[in-house]
Amino acid sequence: MDGRRRNPYELTHDTPVYVISVAAQLSGLHPQTLRQYDRLGLVSPDRTAGRGRRYSARDIELLRQVQQLSQDEGINLAGIKRIIELENQVAALQARVAELEDALDGAAATMRQREAAVHASYRRDLVPYQEVQQTSALVVWRPKRQQQPD
């Protein structure tokens, strides 16, 4: 959510407002078919305190999709349930990818700011020194031996 409080009377695509008879009419299905789809877990409408089903506009779209897959594509209900589960999983993963991309963009911006701060802190009076003559001498370093106490 964007941090603003929503109007409790504002209707969204997910607001459960349709009773089963209206949902059946809007989807072109019989109410008993809607009950069966609910039992199978294909479309799970919200419930009122008295356990009555309330369908949202998103539920109506899903009912139409189930009908289209069943009648036009010849897919059985178990297959349709799996398709719906996979579509929900894809949507959740896409949302997670978007979330991670936002976090990555934020981290990259922070790193650019830190890098700019480091570059700004460099002393400008220091310059790199390169020796003109290069040698190929090998220097061996040996640490001093510690004396043994007497």
Instruction: Give the amino acid at 33.
Output: T
Q: Domain spanning 20-98 has what CATH number?
A: 1.10.1660.10
Query: Three-state SS for 66?
Result: helix
Cβ(17)–Cβ(58) below 8 Å: no
The owner of tokens 């040698």 is 135
Query: Which tens digits make up the pLDDT trace of 93-116?
Result: 999 999 999 999 999 999 999 999
Q: How confident is the model at residue 1 (pLDDT cuts 50, 70, 90)?
A: very low
Q: Which tokens go with 55? A: 């369908």
% of the chain residues with pLDDT over 70: 84
Cβ(17)–Cβ(11) below 8 Å: yes
Query: Which tens digits make up the pLDDT trace of 61-88?
Result: 999 999 999 999 999 999 999 999 999 9
Cβ(39)–Cβ(24) below 8 Å: no
In angstroms, rounded to a whole number, what is the distance separating the alpha carbons of residues 65 and 52?
23
Mean pLDDT of 20-24: 94
